[in-house]
Structure 1
Amino acid sequence: MERDLPGVISEVTAAFEAYERALVDNDIEAILSFFAPEAVRFGVADHQTNIEEQARWRRTQSGLPPGRFLKDTTIHAYGQSTAVVTTMFGYPSHDVLGRQSQTWVRLPTGWRIVTAHVSVI
């Protein structure tokens, strides 16, 4: 299996950066568009097992605090159709760092998150 093919890394990086912009902008429809219909997401205090559950949950949430930053982001690709993204995130007004991991799969509709996990240290 080929790993970390430059073209795949570039595509997933672009998708991940677009997802982050949507998250920071609290663009719920855009956020949801990055997830596969059957995606499972574990959050800090929540859990969704498909896109419908995530849509209901997201619509009850307020936006992120200002100044979100990422650090130690890694993207590794496995073949042409699977990638794993991990990163740490924080906010200037909080002392706590969070962790985020996502598995991205190339589907007919493009790169989509199929599993996601968010936690705090």
Structure 2
Amino acid sequence: MIADVARLAGADGSPFSSATIAGGWVFPAGQVGERADGSVPESFEEEVALALTNLRGVLEAAGSDLAHVVRIQVILTDMADFYVMNRIYRDHIGQNLPTRFTHGAALAPGYRVELVATAVVA
């Protein structure tokens, strides 16, 4: 059964779901460091922390959490930010060590990091 979590997570009218649940798995949309008012923090550190906080919120709305993430993809606009991202990531992800793939790519204007995860429903 597939359930659209966007209704549960309070999506803002974006043309996609906040997450999809299918067969005991949660597939959140890519999460960026955007505040509820649409702004992005000036500091990269705050942006990464907010992206992780946003991911946690979507996972929780879908019946999961960061401890149940099995794979995560980190997209950076500048790979020179890798070590800063990694430090903040470790602080948020805790003892759960999902497989991870980090790469550099262009993102929507204004964003420097995006997280794409797959989790098990808790």
User: Given the two structures, how large is their TM-score scaled by the length of structure 1?
Assistant: 0.32
Q: Point out the structure with the larger helix share.
A: 2
- If asked which structure has higher relative contact order (CA below 8 Å, sep 6+), I would say 2
